[in-house]
Amino acid sequence: MLRQDINELLTQTGPGTPMGDLFRQYWIPALLAEELPENDSPPVRVKLLSERLIAFRDSEGRYGLIDEFCAHRGASLWFGRNEGSGLRCPYHGWKYDVTGQCIEVPSEADNSSFCENVKLRAYPLVKVGDVLWTHMGDPAKRPDLPEFEFAHVPPEQTYTSKRWQQCNWLQAFEGGIDSSHVTFLHSGGLKSDPLFKGAKGNEYNMKDTKPFFEVADSEGGLFVGARRNAEEGSYYWRITPYVMPAFTMVPPRGDHPLHGHFWVPIDDENCWTYSFDYHPGRPLTAAERQAMIDGHGVHSKNIPGTYRPMANMDNDYLIDREAQKRGETYSGVAGIAMQDASLQESMGPIVDRTKERLVPADSGIIKARQKLRKAAIALRDEGVTPPGVDTAHHRVRSAAVVLPQAESFLDSCRDAIKATPGVPHSSV
Amino acid sequence: MSSLPMYASESAKAASASESRYRITVPIAPARNARVIALDTRAASVARRISDGPWANARFYTCEAAPDRGPADEFLLYRLDGVPAALDDMLRDTDVVVIMATDDSGGTRAAAIGSACSARAITTAGVVLGDGFEADDAVAALRPHARVLLLSADESDAFELLRALRV
């Protein structure tokens, strides 16, 4: 359980809140690069950390992320004309560049300097991998660009999707470090999902439904090791890295790609779940990429033209009780992503953590909350840069290994949990 | 009369902010009858500091090797006020034991306590505090028995674990 004041501290990310300030220390995903596919493509409304913004790509290919509303009369620039190296409000023709600087006010006299004094709030928008990242904090403290491996391998080796999740970011994120639910909720997927099935590790997963856990600090966050019995004298370990504030990876299975998530607050009752797959050592096969597009693995099948899952709370996630009875799915909801989302959203927009009954197996969640709370308070009170800002902290990988019983996963997997270009990932 | 749609979407209503106020609210009684055992001197200091917390049922103990050079896994338990305690009595009616260590001196005792808990179907958690890995043996000894091992440099993690468990 959490005290109500701590729950509020961790779940509120708007401007001026401690967690909001914490998120503003990092580069975070703002949108997928595919959303601004070409110069002068239509602008996109973006709400992040409870701020309404508009993203656009100008005639020179520069990306901009600026206040959604025109400084003149407050009209949404989503209706704007993206042309001639700027975004023009269609109401009275005020025009802005990618820095938010007003560059034309047609009603003013020619050569007037009026527009020089009109500037909308703007944040940088930078493409790294398939994602457009932004930093919404103090420009003087802007860190280096993110170095997560999924965003740096060649394009043919990686795939990223996103989906709208209708709940607070924290309860979505907590699913990412909760290894114990896999044996139940995702048991159907271990047998049938094209991006999960066939791995030797799945057999260990299914045979031992009561994993043991080890939770250890890392420089950027945590490593959570889930241990199950393997052959005599050995354990099967699944190692989940967490990099603050909201990056998690799922331990791999066989030669399937690695995958993971970035959980980004839209506002306090909605978040974006960015889901990625990548293979450090080879291009994704056509079948793998198609499976991702089709919503398998950690991805979702979205309503065409949107990032809202086709299975969502308005249609009860298309629950299929017959498939549940047949054992095809454990909860009746199809797909790993929506199995998670359906339960996380069912908790309500912001789960009341004063009513939880946690158990020792939830120690990863307990520890992650503690790290977030401490980092937010240290930033607020002493200006301490939080873990995960340093790009060296980004170079982690998940791993799945079999080790002799006496060995520590931290000692034995030092190389396996480090992202090293060109080095294959460790997976069973 | 029109029929209901295939999915009436009660869950959509239930997941909304306005519907959250209809959640049943009753006080949650502490569910855990916890015992916290410090295996070494520094762990005992931590146990003393956190024992002042708002605990309902948690009781705190220290653990020392038996002085008469008996078998290596023989040990003595004490309440924090110094009163000796017997392992059987301590574990009676307990459903979770949290073992704390800061070094390797209690490795053998960790294994013995963990084994006793396993035999009684008592959930065991290990909290190993320290910057480096001064407690590798303690970790290895606890590993077969502890459902969770929390390896941390932050003493307050022990407090937070107990608070989260509502002990």
Give residue-wise pLDDT tens across range B81-137: 999 999 999 999 999 999 999 988 888 888 899 999 999 999 999 999 987 556 777
Which residue, B56, B21, B38, B33, is CA-closest to B113?
A: B38
Q: Which amino acid is at B79?
A: R
Question: Does residue B2 surpass a pLDDT of 70?
Answer: no
A173 neighbors A354 (Cβ within 8 angstroms): no
A51 neighbors A134 (Cβ within 8 angstroms): no
Question: Is B154 near chain A, with CB under 8 Å?
Answer: yes
Q: Tell me, what's the ipTM?
A: 0.88
Chain B nearest C-alpha distance from A376 (Å): 16
Which residue, A281, A296, A293, A282, is CA-closest to A197?
A: A296
Question: Is B139 near chain A, with CB under 8 Å?
Answer: yes
Give the separation between CA A277 and CA A287, rounded to whole angstroms: 13
3 state SS for A9-48: HHHCCCCCCHHHHHHCCCEEEEEEHHHCCCCCCCCEEEEE
Other residues' Cβ atoms within 10 Å of the Cβ of residue A84: 13
According to DSSP, the β-strands at A221-229 and A81-82 are unpaired
Helix (H), strand (E) at residue A372: helix A363-382
Give the separation between CA A326 and CA B164, rounded to whole angstroms: 37
Chain B nearest C-alpha distance from A130 (Å): 32
Name every chain A residue with its beta carbon within 8 A of the beta carbon of B114.
none
Give the separation between CA A91 and CA A112, rounded to whole angstroms: 20
Percentage of chain B lying above the pLDDT 90 cut: 46
Contact A352 B123 (CB under 8 A): no
According to DSSP, the β-strands at B123-129 and B148-152 are parallel
Other residues' Cβ atoms within 10 Å of the Cβ of residue A415: 11
pTM: 0.94
Chain A nearest C-alpha distance from B92 (Å): 19
Digitized pLDDT (tens) for each residue of chain A, 428 residues in all: 789 999 999 999 999 999 999 999 999 999 999 999 999 999 999 999 999 999 999 999 999 999 999 999 999 999 999 999 999 999 999 999 999 999 999 999 988 999 999 999 999 999 999 999 999 999 999 999 999 999 999 999 999 999 999 999 999 999 999 878 888 898 888 888 999 999 999 999 888 888 999 999 999 999 999 999 999 999 999 999 999 999 999 999 999 999 999 999 999 999 999 999 999 999 999 999 999 999 999 999 999 999 999 999 999 999 999 999 999 999 999 999 999 999 999 999 999 999 898 998 999 999 999 999 999 999 999 999 999 999 999 999 999 999 999 888 988 999 999 999 989 999 99
Contact A348 B17 (CB under 8 A): yes
Token digits of residue A53? 């913004």
Give the separation between CA A388 and CA B71, rounded to whole angstroms: 47
Give the separation between CA B154 and CA A268, rounded to whole angstroms: 29
Largest CA distance in chain B: 86
pLDDT value of position B4: 47
Question: Does residue B9 surpass a pLDDT of 50?
Answer: yes
According to DSSP, the β-strands at A399-404 and A27-32 are unpaired
Phi, psi of A19 (to 5 degrees): -75, -35
Name every chain A residue with its beta carbon within 8 A of the beta carbon of B14.
346, 348
A355 closest CB neighbour out of B12, B28, B165: B28
B29 neighbors B93 (Cβ within 8 angstroms): no
Spatial strand order of the sheet with A87-88 comes to A81-82, A87-88, A95-96, A102-104
Other residues' Cβ atoms within 10 Å of the Cβ of residue A111: 5
Contact B148 A214 (CB under 8 A): yes
CA B38 to chain centre: 11
The tokens 């501290």 sit on which residue? A9
Percentage of chain B lying above the pLDDT 70 cut: 87
The tokens 């490795």 sit on which residue? B107
**DSSP, residue by residue, A186-208:** THHHHHH-TTTTT-HHHHHHHH-
Contact B160 A213 (CB under 8 A): no
pLDDT value of position A134: 98
In degrees, to the nearest 5, what angle opens at C-alpha B130 toward C-alphas B133 and A2?
A: 130
Contact B10 A316 (CB under 8 A): yes
The tokens 């004063």 sit on which residue? A354
Runs of H (alpha helix) within A234-307: 286-293
For chain B, what is the total number of helices (H) and then of strands (E)? 7, 7
The chain-wide mean pLDDT, for chain B, equals 85
Region of residue A126 (phi > 0: left; psi between -120 and 50: alpha; otherwise: beta): beta
Contact B165 A359 (CB under 8 A): yes
Contact A1 B164 (CB under 8 A): yes
Runs of H (alpha helix) within chain B: 10-14, 17-20, 41-50, 87-91, 107-119, 136-142, 156-164
Higher-pLDDT residue of A163, B66: A163
Closest residue of B to A346, CA-based? B15
Region of residue A348 (phi > 0: left; psi between -120 and 50: alpha; otherwise: beta): left
Question: Is B72 near chain A, with CB under 8 Å?
Answer: no
Runs of H (alpha helix) within A107-226: 169-176, 182-185, 187-192, 200-207
Question: Is B36 near chain A, with CB under 8 Å?
Answer: no
